[in-house]
Amino acid sequence: MDEIAVRQIRAALGMSIEQFALAIGVSKTSVKNWEAGLSKPNQANLLKMVEIAVTMVKGQSGLNEPDFVYVGDFDEGMKKMLREMAALIRRMEKAKS
């Protein structure tokens, strides 16, 4: 995962480093290190980021359906963030194999 991606995801979610760290359950130092490229989030932390993003997407969409989100209704910033999250997951899965 490149360090820019974590910063972009956090910014797209509109969260401060402190808020992002609290939501994921890590220290502010961990988030700062990810953003600086000094370390990388583990799979559990990445999945928590996805969970946060999906929760925010559902909140913006007003959807109550847990298995369906129509991405076409979101603004370009949200679409970009979702694409970045998907790319991060693909890279992480590729690195595992």
Q: How do residues 9-61 score in pLDDT, each as one tens digit?
A: 888 778 899 999 998 999 999 999 999 889 988 888 888 887 887 776 655 54
Please report, for the domain that includes residue 41, its CATH number. 1.10.260.40
Range of 34's domain? 3-96
Q: What are phi and psi of 74, to 5 degrees?
A: -95, 155
CA distances from 56 to 11, 17, 33, 74, 75 (A): 13, 17, 24, 11, 13
Q: How many domains does one find in the chain?
A: 1
- Taking the alpha carbons at both ends of the chain, their separation in whole angstroms is 15
Model confidence over 59-93: pLDDT tens digits? 554 544 444 445 555 667 767 777 777 777 777 66
In this prediction the pTM is 0.63
Cα angle 38, 57, 55; round to 5:
75
DSSP 8-state symbol, 25:
T
